[in-house]
A and B are shown apart, each in its own frame.
Chain A
Amino acid sequence: MLEIDNLHARVGDTPILKGLTLTLRPGEVAAIMGPNGSGKSTLSYVLSGRPGYEVTEGTVRFDGQDLLAMEADERARAGVFLAFQYPVEVPGVSNKVFLKAAVNACRKARGQGELDAYEFLKLFEDKRKLVGMGKELASREVNSGFSGGEKKRNEILQMAMLDPKLAILDETDSGLDIDALKAVSEGVNALRDGERAMLVITHYQRLLDHIVPDTVHVLVDGRIARTGGRELALELEERGYDWLKAEAAA
């Protein structure tokens, strides 16, 4: 599904990813953990095609295609979804207008036929309930004036609407209260279907109690420093990152 091989990337003049290799099978849920500034969000931006993130070496294949050769919007239509660590406010554009444009762009590219107003609203209502988002909130301008937690929930609503093959969740848990964490996790779990792959970036073992990963990768200084199962997250919780940083430096 996703094969990242020896990926080097920089932002401006600063190299940030330094030979990252990682693969993801269809249906696999992999957690990515790692210290602040190790390159987790950079990886998510490189995979989703944010301008200004320059790949200097390595390859990324997605579903057999060269992901790096595609524009950001092409990648989204091909099934890559990023839940942003800091979702962007888009004043003046209503969430519904935005989502309808996005859903139909994706459906069209996938040969599924566009949704009419009625079909769209039905899907919207289903998914809104799935992620436990209020009716009023869901209809407002995109993320505009949303609280931190509301923004995260809106990311999951978008993911549910767009039905991606690969979902990258960048710290979707941070800023969520306990109930919201549960609701969002349930939303995410409901979208685990044995086909959809997920990269779940998080700092907290707690999230992994709700969204149980198949694999845990630790990103240190732009590389995967260790890969393991669930127990690796527990070990990190106890020991911190210093031992891995020391290993990586050696």
Chain B
Amino acid sequence: MNAMHLMAAELAGASGRAGEPDWLRERRGEGRARFEALGWPTRADEAWRYVKMRELVRWGEASAPPPDAAAVERAMARAGTALDGVAARVVMVDGVVRAEATTRDGSAPEVSVLPLGEALSVVGDHLRSSLGRIASLTGDGVAALALAELGDALVVHVPRGAALSGALEIVHVATGGEAGLRFPRVFVAVDATGELTLIERFIGVPEEAGFTAATTEILVGGDATVRHVRLVDLPEAALHNGHVGVRVGRGGSFTSYVLSLGGRLGRTELTVDLAEPGASCQLDGLYVASGDSHFDHATTIAHTSPHTTSGETYKGVIGDAATGTFFGRVLIREGAVKSDTRQLNHNLLLSTEARVHTRPQLEIDNDDVKAAHGSTVGQLDEMAVFYLRSRGIDERSARGLLTWAFAEEMVVRLPVPALVRELGRVLAARLASDASPVAAAAIEEAL
């Protein structure tokens, strides 16, 4: 932090909370200062280029007032129950941990899953060195604002060599409300050789519109393995902007699965720093947009060390008057020799009004690397549609089956089998609908 930032932080009067350490109050101040410097993103920012900014700005710059008891109750009713294969589960409403809904099996008690206040004494070092610095202080103005407005957060710590017996699922439920933003935040540190499968699910209350700006920060230690599923399936009117910042240490492996399925606006910005030799990441994504939804994906993979490997595959299915965007940057820094990257984005347009913007981008500062990238935009093969129909399959089902065939590989590679089945069903319903049980049955069969 430079002096200017410090001063600005003090001027902004970053509010502290009783009993919290000074560094945390200062961290908020850094966020505030950065936000004042950057401001709200504009369409001149590549990653925001296709977003209708006016719609966002009207939500203001402050946190939404806390939901009342009835709103919390409506939210909790949406939270559902744990999937098979989930070892621990936390529900957060508008970014606040609902302790009464936390469940956990007896595995790996040394793994901590705690609200920020309680985590400070347990994971203080990690938090102090990295909180806000992996995502918020490297991201755009919205990410900075999220740090400035930091309230509660969920902190997950997997000590050296530890692993839960199954996945950790975090259900973020957003309430509605016309003013202000919601800033849920998750901080994850997995120490050397530890392992974690994290499912973050962003949902809301039907008919309620709200704007969520979520942050997830993940530290992947040496030879540690982290899988992160980020599923955004919000109600039609809801808006969502997510920042995920990841730092991968020596020999560590990070796999991301981004699923954008519902909401008016769904943005995910994901930045992975392959910071030490041998670090690797695989970023997968699937967006299925219909109505007038707009799903944006901006990913940055920074190869900053030698012998780092990355792969990325995003697929989009865009129907009606929806928009899907993929902006994927891969940076290979000068010292990152013997790095290897492979990036793909494939899109299927289901209607003439559907829009897609795809931009894979490689920036390579050394010539001892292997790099490949590509993107495609296509439509369903009408001859294949006719072929299926000529066997008695109705048109809707034929289109549903072919669309599923396009999307399937992204679903079946999800790391939790119960999630594969759930997503299969969700997509069967969406792609095939009740009007075509044939396709739904076929998808069910394929799982």
Interface residue ranges, A against B (CB under 8 Å)? 48-51, 71-73, 76-77, 81-82, 84, 87-94, 97-102, 104-106, 109, 117, 158, 162
Contacts and interface: CB of A to CB of B under 8 A. Distances in A.
Contact of A88 (B384, B394, B439, B441): B384
A105 B390 contact: no
Given A51-B382, A73-B390, A76-B392, 16 more contacts: A48-B390, A49-B389, A73-B392, A73-B398, A76-B391, A76-B393, A87-B387, A88-B386, A90-B388, A92-B405, A93-B401, A97-B446, A98-B388, A102-B388, A105-B393, A105-B394
Contact of A100 (B387, B388, B394, B445): B445
**Secondary structure of the B side of the interface?**
helix
Contacts of A88: 381, 383-384, 386-387
Interface residues of B, number: 29
Given A92-B406, A158-B391, A162-B392, A101 B386 contact: no
Contacts of A82: 390
Contacts of B394: 73, 105
Contacts of A89: 384
Contacts of A106: 391-392
**Secondary structure of the A side of the interface?**
helix
A106 B382 CA distance: 21
Contact of A93 (B402, B409, B438, B441): B402
A118 B388 CA distance: 23
B384 A101 contact: no
Interface of B: 381-384, 386-395, 397-398, 401-402, 404-406, 408-409, 438-439, 441-442, 445-446
B389 A76 contact: yes
Given A101-B441, A105-B392, A158-B391, A94 B382 contact: no
Contacts of B409: 92
A121 to B, nearest CB: 12
A102 B445 contact: no
B303 to A, nearest CB: 32
A224 to B, nearest CB: 24
A87 B439 CA distance: 21
A73 B395 CA distance: 7
B387 A101 contact: no
Nearest to A45: B386
B33 to A, nearest CB: 50
Closest A-B pairs by Cβ, 4 of them:
A92-B405, A102-B391, A76-B392, A88-B387
B405 A76 contact: no
Nearest to A114: B441
Nearest to B438: A101
Contact of A94 (B386, B392, B393, B446): B446
B405 A102 contact: no
21 contacts: A73-B389, A73-B393, A73-B398, A76-B393, A77-B392, A87-B387, A88-B381, A88-B384, A90-B405, A92-B409, A93-B402, A94-B446, A97-B442, A98-B401, A101-B401, A102-B388, A105-B438, A106-B391, A109-B392, A158-B391, A162-B392
